[in-house]
Structure 1
Amino acid sequence: MTDAPIDLAKTGSEKPIVGRSLWKDALLRLRRNKAAVASACVLILVALAGIFGPMISPHPYDRVYPQYVRAPASLEAYPREEAIIPAFERAMARTRLDIGEIDVEGSVVRVSISSEDPLDPRIVRYIDRSDLFSNARIEDLAADERTGVLAADVHRVRFPFGTDANGRDLLARIFIGIRVSLAIGVLASFMALVLGVTYGATAGYLGGRVDNVMMRIVDILYSLPFIFFVILLVVFFGRSFVLIFIAIGLTEWLDMARIVRGQTLTIKRQEYVEAAQALGVSSWGILRRHVIPNTLGPVIVFVTLLVPKAILLESLLSFLGLGVQEPLTSLGMLISDGASNMRGASWLLIYPAVTLTAILFALNFLGDGLRDALDPKDR
């Protein structure tokens, strides 16, 4: 006696097997790397600060506060209580009135005034001309118009990271510096990615004499000194944001081209590439469909390491005075300014340096995580 066959379709016990691509497997491996995930979160926060920070900052990055030159970092509002009364006394000295005791209540300062002649309402102009006070007015004016109370609003501002040597808010300038440095790093890396992948894949796939000629051109470009190349560009075209990432991108694609060429030499010998050639697929179709997609693993890892390299090169150029022009700034320019004011205003060096260090560490940890996740030996 034999058992009747069981129809699995009717019982519903058969479940479809869902496959998992290599990219999904790499993503799961990356998620298990806590350092890489934390670095990705840090980079997202820094990028958001660079994008939206200048928009929500209470101070424009190029606004100068002459009365707050190299003001120390503090959560307390400026001007300080002990500085309001002397500044108000200096402003009142121009009115040539008899003044009493100055009283400060919150953001309003008041003083009793008197004169032998009737008070001229235009005296409030002397107070409004000051950068510290605004909305000056005469209150409690007597019937004979010779005595009263002069009141004014104190313009209070906060500088959590202090101000620079020109009196500009350092926090707002760090925000714009993050935007410029990340933009140059990403754009230069994208330019190097496009040039390097296209050039290296073409040289490796065609091979032979074409490969030799193309790679000798790369060797010649390697011999050109980077700083000399940038100086020539600056002399002919002037300093600009676009020039910086073009200069970095035109020099950093050489490493990308060599990496992609080496991967292409291995991939073009695979069976699926030979099958595509036998089916009559064009060389461009094979490069676009088979060769380039299979080189993306090492390329992605290299890009995560190329972005911090581009940021460091931009910082070097800014430190040497070849970077972006004022009032625009970058983290490299802020560090250069901080180094020249390190003894008297250490916060001008500390905050930009910590920001740049955090970005570089996060990019390197993320690159290490991607390298481990995309390594085929660890699958």
Structure 2
Amino acid sequence: MSHKSNSLRGLALQKFKKNFWGVFSFCFIIFVGFIAVFAYIFAPDNTQHANQMHLAIHSKKPGFSIDMLTIPSDRKEEQGGLDAILFGKKNTNTEVPISDFSVEDGVLIYQEYAADGIEGAEKTIELSIFPNQSVEGFIVERTFLFGTDKYGRDLLSRVLVGARISFFIGFVAVFISLLIGLLMGSAAGYFGGKVDAVIMWVINVTWSIPTLLLVIAITLALGKGFWQVFIAVGLTMWVEVARIVRGQIISTKEMQYVTAARALGYTDYRIIVKHILPNIMAPLIVISAANFAAAILIESGLSFLGIGAQPPMASWGAMIKDHYNYIILGKPYLAIIPGLCIMILVMAFMLIGNALRDALDVKN
């Protein structure tokens, strides 16, 4: 029996490897996950939430370059290296975009950057505030590969950091949906009778409520925030899992291996967990991939409506909300770039779901 199970898994793995788009999507998802975890290492703006604003250079096109003066601060924030890698650097320094500078008699004279050919204000600062009274290393040319948003923040950094929410909400939502869906579906399918009737009533009532309205209601009840959205999305996606588990258990609970387990005196819990669920995992894997994609879309919609991740937290949906009007103002990339990120990631999960469905289909 074990040999057969292993051979079936090996056969499914071989079929999956032959699916180019499935393998490509899997590699892409792993890549996005790596970027999401270590976003602050790759982001040009590694401050918390990539929220370094420079209003003087707002809405600049991709490839825009400017000299950036960093003015050291006397206030120091203690922060561990791991904390900075995972959650961003606590930056107390002041960054100023400048168009020109010179050093005279121990004083740095710089001209602030101003757009549209306007001359910026000329200011001075004592060199004594810089270590070794040298400005070397404190004035660097910075290039914004994706341009800047309407607040002058680096768009590339916001996109990289924003991948965290879109990626991890899928994991949390799928975990919650599996936890509740497996419990409810297993009880309904295995015990039947009044238990099945009550659970199916709850499923049908939940199913009848539009998903977005239910998410909004739960979000408003729990409050606006990062984790509240994760929980809200997960609590609305368990219905499909429960229906699939219920149907699969109804069709398998009368099979010979289940009857044999009952004859041996095994508990209902052991029969469900050890014998039935391992044999119905194929459709659950496929629906989990689809739910992952759906969770990303729902979170993006909530952020677009303003009840998802709250500022200054980076979110692809919130980035579209902030810049959708720029589509008709000649700078559509501000909304198109995060929109493409959502589309590509969702497509990757749908493709891997299709590949898993084909690989796990025993009829082919």
TM-score scaled to structure 1, two decimals?
0.76
Aligned: 1:195 with 2:180: yes
Aligned: 1:127 with 2:116: no
Task: Choose from 151, 158, 168 the match for 2:143.
Answer: 158
**CA distances 1:159-178 after superposition (whole Å, capped 9, x unpaired):** 11111100111111111111
Q: Is the 8 A contact 1:69 1:164 kept in 2?
A: yes
- 3-state SS of paired residue (1:155): strand
Aligned: 1:356 with 2:342: yes
Moved more, 262-271 or 227-236: 227-236
Aligned: 1:78 with 2:63: no
Q: Is the 8 A contact 1:134 1:155 kept in 2?
A: no
Aligned: 1:254 with 2:239: yes
**CA distances 1:205-236 after superposition (whole Å, capped 9, x unpaired):** 10122111211111122223334333333434
How many angstroms apart in 1 are the aligned matches of 2:351 and 2:32? 15
Q: Is the 8 A contact 2:215 2:236 kept in 1?
A: no
Q: Percent identity?
A: 34
How many angstroms apart in 1 are the aligned matches of 2:234 and 2:351? 23
How many angstroms apart in 1 are the aligned matches of 2:170 and 2:326? 27
Task: State the one-letter code of the partner of 2:200.
Answer: M
Gaps of 5+ in 2: 69-97, 114-120, 129-134
Aligned: 1:68 with 2:57: yes
The 5 Å alignment of 1:166-315 reads 166-315=151-300
Alpha carbons of structure 1 residues 54 and 132: separation in structure 2 relative to 1, 3 Å: farther
How many angstroms apart in 2 are the aligned matches of 1:33 and 1:303? 19
How many angstroms apart in 2 are the aligned matches of 1:57 and 1:296? 38
Alpha carbons of structure 1 residues 289 and 137: separation in structure 2 relative to 1, 3 Å: closer
Structure whose alpha-carbon radius of gyration is higher: 1
How many angstroms apart in 2 are the aligned matches of 1:353 and 1:363? 16
Task: State the one-letter code of the partner of 1:292.
Answer: L
Alpha carbons of structure 1 residues 137 and 328: separation in structure 2 relative to 1, 3 Å: closer
Gaps of 5+ in 1: 1-17, 81-85, 89-108, 114-118, 139-150
TM-score scaled to structure 2, two decimals?
0.79
Task: State the one-letter code of the partner of 1:127.
Answer: Y
CA RMSD after TM alignment:
2.9
How many angstroms apart in 2 are the aligned matches of 1:164 and 1:134? 28
- 3-state SS of paired residue (1:295): helix
Alpha carbons of structure 1 residues 137 and 176: separation in structure 2 relative to 1, 3 Å: closer
The 5 Å alignment of 1:327-342 reads 327-342=312-327
How many angstroms apart in 2 are the aligned matches of 1:371 and 1:319? 32
Alpha carbons of structure 1 residues 69 and 285: separation in structure 2 relative to 1, 3 Å: same
Task: Choose from 25, 29, 41 the match for 1:39.
Answer: 25
